[in-house]
């Protein structure tokens, strides 16, 4: 299955990034590669108000600098190599699941449950921290699940998961707390203390980083941007059923993670329950909050919408395997070559379909990014609508970008400014903004994402180079 994953991954190697989150993460990685955590100090002029904020005289990206640092080495060589970071962590997670299964005396064939997590497969082809963070959390749990637990290493791994993505705290904190209480109750106080020792460097690293960046060790980036206040339960009645159904299907019988019998204690159920509850309270989920109608919204976010569930999904793999192994033994069914072959065929077909669809989406975005990079020179001023922002990155061009409204024709009349506008196929951009300009249209087409890009050139701009 690992060989199949690697083959399909390389065959559909990500063409580019496709969402604003990735663009901003890449911006931070570019800054770190140039010796700073501040985009303005690195010369990056694009600015996303929802993902950056001003602190102590500099611009700060809300995303993890620790994760971005892992991507930084690829910037100077070939930024697309950064996708291998997520893929590598996916593989590490697979070995962690296998190790827990073998430790438990269960067939390692049940590691297939991990490979059938479409959210993990999807985000393994992205620059987001979801897969690296979830995989590191899984490694930490694997250290605690050993017959001879290694709590210091487990604490370090789970702490690293939080450093990679703060959302992992929703899983790691309750898991570590309940695991420690269980150990103390069993008279194994030293193990609980060692877990705290392992996690302590994360507290120092995060506190020190926030003190330097924001002037306070407890003033976190996500708090500054208001993200921590968006857990209001606005869509709770819609999101909770989605996440519960997702957990039951991916992995199969994933609900077993909520059972202390199959989870072997209350630590994993506490973590999984906290993740499902937190994700259900959050105001955003891909698809359902995208503005698409009904079933289209559900389908559009069916796989991407699982990213907030990933910490729970990966933790559920081993409890689900225990449950399924028990049921198969009761009916005298065991893993054999025909069953393994069937599982492998389903995986190849399923992951191949996900990879092909995702690549189609990425290629459409690449067409837009390449067109902007070819038309707008480095150092220029670019004006446009909000969708343009995710199509910019420092590895393409260093440009100053400012979002304008369709009625903001005065702002677009600057003689040296370029204008870019993304519309639905066949739609026209605001006439007032493009009036008097030489206009180029680029068609971005795919199975899942279709747009028209309109580029308006300044009167003194040279002819665009052939792309």
pLDDT, one tens digit per residue, over 293-309 is 777 777 778 899 999 99
pLDDT value at residue 467? 46
Higher pLDDT, 47 or 141: 141
Q: Between vectors from CA 386 to CA 67 and to CA 124, what angle results, nearest 5°?
A: 30
Domain limits, the chain: 78-335, 359-457
Mean pLDDT score, 409-417: 74
58 falls in which pLDDT band (50, 70, 90)?
A: very high
Residue in the structure block whose two tokens are 């519309």: 423
**Residue 466: pLDDT above 60?**
no
Mean pLDDT score, 394-401: 80
Measured distance CA(453)–CA(371) in Å, rounded: 8
SS3 string, the chain, reads CHHHHHHHHHHCCCCCCCCHHHHHHHHHHHHHHCCCCCHHHHCCCCCCCCCEEEECCEEEECCCHHHHHHHHHHHHHCHHHHHHHHHHHHHHHHHHHHHHHHHCCCCHHHHHHHHCCHHHHHHCCCCCCHHHHHHHHHHHHHHHHCCCCCHHHHHHHHHHHHHHCHHHHHHHHHHHHHHHHHHHHCCCHHHHHHHHHHHHHHHHHHHHHHHHHHCCCCCCHHHHCCHHHCCCCCCHHHHHHHHHHHHHHCCCCHHHHHCHHHHCCCHHHHHHHHHHHHHHHCCCCCCCCCCCCHHHHHHHCCCHHHHHHHHHHHHHHHHHHHHHHHHHHHCCCCCCHHHHHHHHHHHHHHHHHHHHHHHHHHHHHHHHHHHHHHHCCCCCEEEECHHHHHHCCCCCCCCEEEECCCCCCCHHHCCCEEEEEEECCCCCCCHHHHCCCEEEEEEECCCCCCEEEEEEECCCCCCCCCC
For the CA atoms of 262, 267, 270, 271, what is the dihedral angle to 10 degrees? Answer: -100
194 falls in which pLDDT band (50, 70, 90)?
A: very high
**Residue 283: pLDDT above 80?**
yes
With b for 16 or more beta-carbon neighbours within 10 A and e for fewer, the 370-408 pattern comes to bbbbbbbeeebbbbbbebbbbbbbbbbbbbebebbeeee
Kindly give, in sequence order, each residue whose CB lies less than 8 Å from that of residue 466, ignoring residues fewer than 6 positions away: none
State both tokens at 71.
């991507």
Rg (CA), the chain: 24
435 falls in which pLDDT band (50, 70, 90)?
A: confident
Q: Which CATH architecture has domain 359-457?
A: 3-Layer(aba) Sandwich (3.40)
**Residue 443: pLDDT above 60?**
yes
Measured distance CA(196)–CA(190) in Å, rounded: 10
Average pLDDT of the chain is: 93
Measured distance CA(124)–CA(121) in Å, rounded: 5
pTM, two decimals, is 0.94
| pLDDT tens for each residue of 313-366 | 999 999 999 999 999 888 888 899 999 999 999 999 999 999 999 999 999 999
| pLDDT tens for each residue of 106-159 | 999 999 999 999 999 999 999 999 999 999 999 999 999 999 999 999 999 999
- CA distances in angstroms from 8 to 76, 227, 351, 352, 463, listed in the order given: 26, 35, 8, 6, 40
Mean pLDDT score, 49-74: 95
Kindly give, in sequence order, each residue whose CB lies less than 8 Å from that of residue 177, ignoring residues fewer than 6 positions away: 270
- CA distances in angstroms from 275 to 147, 169, 170, 206, 314, listed in the order given: 26, 9, 6, 21, 12
Measured distance CA(145)–CA(151) in Å, rounded: 9
Q: Quick one: which of 178, 168, 183 has its CA closest to 64?
A: 168
462 falls in which pLDDT band (50, 70, 90)?
A: low
Burial class of residue 279 (count of CB atoms within 10 Å of its CB; 0-12, 13-18, 19+): buried
Higher pLDDT, 391 or 84: 84
Burial class of residue 94 (count of CB atoms within 10 Å of its CB; 0-12, 13-18, 19+): buried
Q: Are 278 and 239 in contact, with CB atoms under 8 Å apart?
A: no
pLDDT value at residue 308? 95
């Amino acid at each position: 299955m690992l060989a199949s994953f690697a083959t399909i991954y390389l065959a559909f190697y990500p063409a580019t990034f496709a969402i604003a989150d990735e663009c901003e993460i890449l911006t931070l990685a570019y800054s770190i590669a140039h010796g700073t955590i501040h985009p303005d100090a690195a010369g990056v002029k694009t600015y996303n108000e929802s993902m950056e904020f001003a602190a102590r005289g500099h611009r700060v990206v809300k995303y993890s600098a620790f994760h971005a640092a892992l991507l930084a080495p690829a910037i100077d060589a070939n930024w697309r190599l950064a996708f291998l970071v997520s893929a590598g962590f996916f593989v590490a997670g697979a070995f962690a699941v296998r190790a827990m299964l073998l430790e438990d005396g269960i067939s390692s064939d049940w590691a297939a449950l991990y490979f059938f997590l479409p959210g993990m497969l999807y985000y393994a082809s992205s620059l987001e921290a979801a897969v690296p963070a979830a995989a590191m959390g899984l490694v930490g749990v694997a250290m605690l699940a050993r017959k001879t637990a290694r709590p210091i290493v487990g604490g370090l791994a789970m702490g690293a998961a939080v450093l990679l993505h703060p959302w992992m705290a929703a899983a790691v904190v309750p898991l570590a707390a309940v695991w420690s209480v269980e150990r103390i109750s069993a008279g194994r106080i030293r193990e609980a203390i060692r877990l705290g020792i392992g996690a302590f460097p994360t507290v120092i690293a995060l506190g020190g980083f926030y003190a330097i960046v924001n002037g306070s060790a407890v003033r976190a980036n996500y708090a500054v941007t208001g993200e921590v206040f968006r857990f209001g339960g606005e869509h709770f009645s819609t999101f909770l059923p989605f996440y519960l159904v997702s957990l039951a299907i991916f992995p199969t019988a994933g609900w077993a993670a909520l059972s202390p019998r199959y989870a072997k204690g209350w630590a994993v159920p506490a973590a999984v329950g906290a993740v499902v509850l937190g994700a259900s309270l959050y105001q955003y989920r891909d698809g359902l909050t995208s503005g698409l109608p009904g079933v289209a919204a559900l389908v559009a976010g069916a796989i991407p919408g699982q990213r907030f569930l990933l910490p729970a999904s990966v933790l559920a793999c081993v409890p689900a395997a225990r449950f399924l192994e028990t049921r198969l033994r009761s009916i005298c069914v065991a893993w054999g070559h025909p069953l393994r072959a069937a599982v492998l065929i389903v995986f190849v077909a399923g992951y191949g379909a996900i990879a092909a669809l995702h690549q189609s989406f990425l290629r459409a975005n690449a067409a837009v990014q390449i067109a902007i990079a070819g038309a707008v020179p480095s150092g220029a001023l670019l004006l446009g609508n909000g969708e343009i922002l995710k199509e910019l990155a420092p590895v393409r061009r260093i440009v100053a970008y400012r979002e304008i409204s369709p009625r903001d024709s005065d702002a677009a009349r600057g003689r040296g400014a370029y204008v870019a506008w993304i519309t639905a196929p066949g739609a026209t951009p605001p006439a007032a903004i493009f009036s008097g300009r030489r206009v180029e249209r680029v068609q971005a087409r795919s199975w899942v994402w279709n747009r028209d890009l309109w580029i308006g050139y300044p009167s003194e701009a040279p002819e665009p180079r052939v792309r």
